[in-house]
Amino acid sequence: MQMIGEFRNPELVKNLCRSISRVTTQKWKIMEICGGQTHSILHYGLDQLLPPEIELLHGPGCPVCVTPSQILELAFKIALQKDVIFCTFADMIRVPGEYRGSQTLDFYKVRAMGGDVRMVQSPLEAVNIAKNNPEKEVVFFAVGFETTTPVNALAVNEAEKLGLSNMFFLVSQVLVPPALEALLGSPDNQIQGVLAAGHVCSIMGTKPYVDLAEKYQVPCVITGFEPTDLLQGIYLCIKQMEDGRSEMENQYSRVVKSDGNFKAQELMQKYFQVKEQGWRGLGRIADSGYGFRNEYAHFDAEVKYQKLYESETRTPSCEFVCRSGEVLVGRLKPTDCEHFGKICNPSSPLGPTMVSTEGACAAYFKYRNQGRGINEA
């Protein structure tokens, strides 16, 4: 067993597509929450294999896309400080953001301007860099959903154990359920079924989705990331909708246990607490983020570099033009945006959904820009 190839078997994909066609009798709109799932669906062309009645809405589950522009601007300012080594996942490198109200930066440009920006594959690597560079201030851009937050916590834990006083975390950590509630509870909600993100649930367990399914009377199927996982999740979701049920179901049982991962939750709770959080495109949502607890404020880059934060001035920007907010909530299909492929493309993105490989716009551009006669960037 390899746990990957088996779940990409074309035979099983075919079986699932037949099952889906058999149970579908009417139009349904299903939202996959996670950007990784969006990427998989478009990469494998799974949406092309579904009956025309099924419409997939792409959710806000991309940490790169939802990181608020204020935090991004602060990140640029910190990264441009002398004596700072700024560590980030490579995913964030190309995300455009405002800088001092007049120019748009990304981390490539920050590097070109002299910032020491380093790509890391794990937050623990940033701690290692801090340990080896005691004369430098090392800042890790701790973005993530419930899946990555425990690992960020593990990195804080490591920094604490090592007694590092030069390690800081710029935190922008978000929680799925409150954002999903904001979507499901909105008066123009179109979501009839939800594919919940399997990896988030591997940490948090299935309980939050039992509650959501009941409260909003919407099927919530916890789903994995491989082609057969996604199709099976879609099948289970349609089956529920056709039967008039709205329950939590766990398609991804090989990874997700009902209680989630207690150790990970515990460590996350130790350093972080739930707080109001800004989501790029969605605005501020109560209890939808994880920030540092007060007793660990000395690790918080927002506190450490408070001065940079306060001196900032906001001016209206491209975000008024960019409709990524509507895309993130599934209200606007990327290809229906008037800017898509015209002034907005992966080389000159207007907003985060076009830049992140997980962003719905980038995924559509990468896999679906045909039919509109758009030239490559």
Partner 1 sequence: MCLGIPGKIISIELSSAEAPESSLAKVDFSGVTQNVRLDFVPEAKVGNFVLVHVGVALSVIDEDEALQTLQLLSDLGEFYNANDR
Partner 2 sequence: MKLENCPIPQSGYSLITLAHGGGGLLSHRLFEQVFLPAFDNEYLRETHDGAVLPQIHGPLAITTDAHVVQPLVFPGGDIGTLAVCGSLNDLAMCGAEPKYLSMSFILEEGLPIEVLQKIVESIAKTARAEKVVIVTGDTKVVEKGRCEGMYISTTAIGEIKAPNKICPQQIQSGDVLILSSDIARHGMAVMSCRPGFQFESGITSDCGSLWPAVQALLQEKVQIHCLRDLTRGGLAAGATELSKASGFEFEVHEEQIPVQNNVRAACEIFGLDPIHVANEGCFLAVVAATDADRCVRILQAQNGTALARKIGFVTEAKGSAHVWIKGAFGQRRMLILPTGEQLPRIC
Q: What is the Cα–Cα distance from 348 to 346, expressed in whole angstroms?
A: 6
Paired residues of 171 in beta bridges: 142
Structure tokens at 276: 């109001």
Q: Could you give the string, one character per residue 160-189, with x where binding to partner 1 holds by CB under 8 A and - elsewhere?
A: -x----------------------------
The one among 112, 113, 119, 321 contacting partner 2 by CB under 8 A: 119
In degrees rounded to 5, what are phi and psi of residue 289? -140, 170
Q: Are 231 and 48 in contact (CB under 8 A)?
A: no
CB 326 to partner 1: min, Å: 19
Q: How many CB atoms lie within 10 A of CB 300?
A: 20
CB 191 to partner 1: min, Å: 17
CB 322 to partner 1: min, Å: 20
Residue 366 in the binding site for partner 2 (CB under 8 A):
yes
Paired residues of 265 in beta bridges: none
Site for partner 1 in 294-353 (CB under 8 A): none
369 binds, among partner 1, partner 2, none (CB under 5 to 8 A by kind): partner 2
Backbone dihedral region of 144: left (phi > 0), alpha (psi from -120 to 50 degrees) or beta?
Answer: left
223 binds, among partner 2, partner 1, none (CB under 5 to 8 A by kind): none
Structure tokens at 262: 């207690």
Q: Are 179 and 210 in contact (CB under 8 A)?
A: no
Q: Are 161 and 275 in contact (CB under 8 A)?
A: no
The one among 68, 96, 97, 150 contacting partner 1 by CB under 8 A: 150
Helix, strand, coil percentages in the chain from 3-state DSSP, rounded to 5: 45, 20, 35
Binding site for partner 2 (CB under 8 A): 4, 8, 10, 13-14, 35-36, 42-46, 48-49, 62-64, 89-91, 93-94, 108, 118-122, 125, 144, 148, 227, 346-347, 356-358, 365-370, 373, 375-377
Residues found near partner 1 in the complex (CB under 8 A): 1-4, 6-7, 11-12, 14-16, 18-19, 33-36, 61-63, 89, 121-125, 144-145, 147-148, 150-151, 154, 161, 197-200, 202-203, 225, 228, 232, 251, 253-257, 261, 263-264, 267, 358
